[in-house]
Amino acid sequence: MEDRWTLYMIECADGTFYTGIARDLERRLSQHGTPRGAKYTRGRGPFILRYTETDLTHSQALSRERQIKALSRQEKENLWK
């Protein structure tokens, strides 16, 4: 059976958004802000988890990540409001 992935969006302390995918969301979130985290998020914490989509295949997660990254800020905020 294929691994299941989670798409997530966090809001950084500076108000920007970071969208990513992970197999283990809890572990991945703990990595943000550390040398093992995404370069973009280092030094931008603390973070607020704003949005998730769970139980995706890797292909689905990558596709949704691309789609969400292309959205405007307002469209991203509308995902959880």
Domains, the chain, ordered by start? 5-78 (3.40.1440.10)
Phi (first) and psi of residue 38, to 5 degrees: -65, 140
Angstrom CA distances, 13 to 2, 33, 63, stand at: 34, 11, 27
Distance (Å, whole) CA 31 – CA 72: 26
Q: What pLDDT is stored for residue 36 in this prediction?
A: 81
Taking only the tens place, the pLDDT of each residue in 49-81 is 999 999 999 999 999 999 999 999 999 999 998
Q: What pLDDT is stored for residue 2 in this prediction?
A: 74
The percentage of residues in the chain with a pLDDT greater than 90, rounded to a whole number, is: 84
Mean pLDDT of the chain, nearest integer: 95
Regarding beta strands 17-22 and 48-56, do their DSSP bridges make them parallel or antiparallel, or are they unpaired?
A: unpaired
In this predicted structure, the answer to whether residue 37 has a pLDDT above a threshold of 90 is no
